[in-house]
Amino acid sequence: MKIKLVSTILIFFITSNYIFSQDINQVVKLPKLTVEQKWETAEGNLVYFVISGISYAKSKGETPEDYGAWTGTIGCPYWQSMDSMSPAKFVQEISANKQQFRGFQMEILEAKKTFVKGRMKGYGNDLVTMYNMGGVTEDDYTRFFNKKWETIARCVGFEYMQEKDGDWVYFTVSEKK
């Protein structure tokens, strides 16, 4: 009887120890990203969400342009709230928006009071191709942004036109005629 009791107690302690040892707190070390790593993550997240939106629109039988017009319409009140909007200020705001991409470049080719012509590249296009997600192409991504900027420009009284040539997107922002 004593052997059974001792054996039962021993088995109980061994089993309890095993079961409770499974619940020992683990130390989870969280990453401490450098500014460069944060920037890379932010770029990737932004491109991911644009790709996701375009892919969702396409899954509903819509186009990248449909999604671009929708996002432009949502952003319209913000753009309308800016003081002293001009074609030059509009282009400056696009540049400020796109500078979140490390490889972004914008050049002004010609500027007058009523219009600005320029070109830009490096705002996530390469990531679209690299990610290769959701059936979204770099062309889809470019067309999305074209329609987004066109819609926003229209809501603040301007026209926006762009065309792609190689890596560069050439654009014109002008007062409506």
The CATH number given to 35-175 is 3.30.1380
The pLDDT tens digits of the residues spanning 156-166 come to 999 999 999 99
Q: How would residue 23 be classed by pLDDT, with cut points 50, 70 and 90?
A: low
Q: Can you tell me the mean pLDDT for 69-74?
A: 98
pLDDT of residue 24: 78
Between CA 128 and CA 50 the distance in angstroms is 9
Between CA 166 and CA 46 the distance in angstroms is 23
**Would you say 86 and 111 are in contact if contact means Cβ atoms under 8 Å apart?**
no
Give yes or no for residue 84 having a pLDDT over 70.
yes
* CB-count burial class (<10 Å; 0-12, 13-18, 19+) for 12: exposed
Residue-range domain boundaries for the chain? 35-175
Look over the chain and give the mean of its residue pLDDT values, rounded to a whole number: 91
Q: Which residue has the tokens 């229209």?
A: 154
The pLDDT tens digits of the residues spanning 97-156 come to 999 999 999 999 999 999 999 999 999 988 998 899 999 999 999 999 999 999 999 999
Q: Compare 65 and 177 and report the one with higher pLDDT.
A: 65
The first and second tokens of residue 81, run together, are: 């709230």
**Would you say 125 and 140 are in contact if contact means Cβ atoms under 8 Å apart?**
no
pLDDT of residue 117: 98
Give yes or no for residue 81 having a pLDDT over 60.
yes
